[in-house]
Chains A and B, each alone.
Chain A
Amino acid sequence: EIVMTQSPATLSVSPGERATLSCRASQSVSSNLAWYQQKPGQAPRLLIYGASTRATGIPARFSGSGSGTEFTLTISSLQSEDFAVYYCQQYNNWPRRTFGQGTKVEIK
């Protein structure tokens, strides 16, 4: 099983500031990495796939980068609606896709 490790567990950021979230895979997943956003009481929403491609309707302030074992999700200027939990997910080892434990982005 490929283990996905996200850091930090919690990120405190002021509105308008940049947020940088990290995700590390226990072995290479190439660019087969997705990011999801989950707000309280809601289902996850796909943000990024292929490590860097924004899903339909996702604002340009969200960007992804990385390949192999190291990945980053950047939110360039945090809006109030961006405070949520973010998960990375590898789909290189299909069908046994695995998620990171999540990073909570909270208001500073």
Chain B
Amino acid sequence: EVQLVESGGGLVKPGGSLRLSCAASGFTFSSYSMNWVRQAPGKGLEWVSSISSSSSYIYYADSVKGRFTISRDNAKNSLYLQMNSLRAEDTAVYYCARGPPVGLFDYWGQGTLVTVSS
């Protein structure tokens, strides 16, 4: 069974930093690209970042480019999102999602809430 478990969310002040983690199990992690997708409270879904299976290709939404860094450790079956210079508008539930080659999101974690507030 595919499982994705996020952690690392919490309350942080504007301008602060946070590192999210996603632990994967139930599939060959190193064979899949991985993604972060977020959802602001009461709002829709927004793709944030993607990383290819070998970390060769990395992409960011314009809204987070230069502030967020995605990475992965295939030996640990883990995905990460380093978030710096956080803003109030980054407040959201952050989901880790598996990405088969075509570009959709076939399995999602339960999400971790990031709140940016003073």
* Contacts known (A43-B95, A44-B108); A49 close to B102, Cβ less than 8 A: yes
A89 within 8 A of B: yes
* Contacts known (A43-B95, A43-B109); A91 close to B104, Cβ less than 8 A: yes
Contact-residue size bin, chain B (C-beta under 8 Å from the other chain): 10 to 19
Which chain B residues lie closer than 8 Å to A49 at the CB level? 102, 104, 106
> Chain B binding site: helix, strand, loop or mixed by DSSP?
loop
Q: Which of B13-21, B40-48, B73-81 contacts A (4 or more CB under 8 A)?
A: B40-48
Which chain B residues lie closer than 8 Å to A101 at the CB level? 44
Question: How many residues of A are counted as interface, with CB atoms below 8 angstroms from the partner's CB atoms?
Answer: 24
- Closest chain-A Cβ to B3's Cβ sits at a distance in Å of 12
> Chain A binding site: helix, strand, loop or mixed by DSSP?
loop
Q: Which of A34, A43, A94, A96 lies in contact with B110, CB distance below 8 A? A: A43
Interface residues of chain B, those whose CB is within 8 Å of chain A, are 44-47, 50, 59, 61, 95, 102-111
Interface residues of chain A, those whose CB is within 8 Å of chain B, are 32, 34, 36, 42-46, 49-50, 55, 87, 89, 91-92, 94-102
